[in-house]
Amino acid sequence: MKNRLFEIVNRIYLWIYCFVNGTVYHILSIKRTKKLPDLTKHEKAEVVEYWSKYKKITGCVHEYKWFKSKGKLDKRLIPEELWHADIEPHFNNVLLEKAIQDKNY
């Protein structure tokens, strides 16, 4: 019973962590790309089509404006929003994050 409760709390914490991280990076990336020229419909469709194999990313397509402004638009680049909200928490134990941050421990 105790293990089951701990598992439920962990899942809730992970969901909140992912939601907050995704929201924060979404807001930051929108502010960062506000003044950059928009992507064409073809470029947006190309990015969405590429990522549809993995995850629906219609919300973070605006980050590709930043990538495009720095040179060639590469659809394989991972948006920060996707990285911090989905990939990073999947491969790292977010419950141990505070302990790992303290380098003196």
pLDDT tens-place string over residues 7-37: 888 888 888 888 888 888 888 888 888 888 8
Determine the pLDDT at residue 66: 75
Distance between CA atoms of residues 84 and 49, nearest Å: 21
Count of domains observed in the chain = 1
Domain that holds residue 9: 2-101
What does the pLDDT read at residue 98?
67
Tens of pLDDT along 31-57? Answer: 888 888 888 888 888 888 888 888 777
Q: What is the pLDDT of residues 65-89, one digit of tens each?
A: 877 777 778 888 888 888 888 888 8
Following DSSP, what letter does each residue of 1-40 receive, concatenated?
-HHHHHHHHHHHHHHHHHHHHHHHHHHHHHHHHTTSPPPP
pTM: 0.66
